[in-house]
Chain A
């Protein structure tokens, strides 16, 4: 559940989601669930010319299973907090 909680804290931030089919979408993180399904708002495709069918898509739902990377804003990463959370999770509490 660590990454679920972590992504929940990032709601409202601008992220880039890169999918397994190499499609990369940038947008505001609207919500995330236990499967790491992601909903983005105000989306734009990084390589728009290659994916013309995404031109009029402003909001989208991405299935968690097809995500390869999520690029986060540097200020959204608190290493200390993540360390602590990881240790807590490893202890089972």
Chain B
């Protein structure tokens, strides 16, 4: 009968509701960590227990056991609560060994590098080596601005 109920109070977004639950942590370097969220703070620094990295390449995936992980907030893109009722991955995806996924990952990276190099073919790489200190954080979307040093390996 009294006025405001607890639901009417506006609460800022907090990771508190995900505590002690299985969560997926997307990092800025495109890694995905899965584990039980044990702690966090205002910077989105988080502690994950029983963490593992899920590497996905095409239709294959592999889980690499990591253990207890503390992640600095600046590297966090997103923390998602995993709905245990739902499938974690689409049915058609298959689990492979660590060696296999590492190989697939390497192959995928080479394809990307080759396409970057192709787009830069009109440039004289030898002369541009001096520009190798110039880097860009959007190397994927703007390969033309990305560092030259890793390309001219």
Interface residues of A (CB under 8 A from B): 8, 11, 19, 21-23, 25, 30-34, 37-39, 43, 52-63, 65-66
Contacts and interface: CB of A to CB of B under 8 A. Distances in A.
B153 interface: no
A61 B18 contact: yes
B93 interface: yes
A34 B14 CA distance: 12
B44 A56 contact: no
A30 B10 contact: no
B78 A19 contact: yes
A34 B43 CA distance: 12
Contacts, number: 90
Interface residues of B, number: 35
B81 A22 contact: no
Given A8-B10, A37-B13, A53-B32, A62 B77 contact: yes
Interface in B1-31: 10-15, 17-18, 24, 26, 28, 30
Contacts of A11: 10
6 tightest A-B CB contacts, nearest first = A57-B80, A39-B13, A60-B80, A33-B12, A56-B86, A31-B13
B44 A37 contact: yes
A11 B9 CA distance: 13
A52 B97 CA distance: 19
B39 interface: no
Contact of A57 (B12, B83, B93, B141): B83
23 contacts: A22-B141, A30-B13, A31-B10, A33-B12, A37-B12, A37-B13, A38-B13, A52-B56, A52-B89, A52-B93, A53-B24, A53-B26, A53-B32, A54-B80, A56-B82, A57-B80, A58-B81, A60-B79, A61-B13, A61-B79, A63-B78, A65-B74, A66-B76
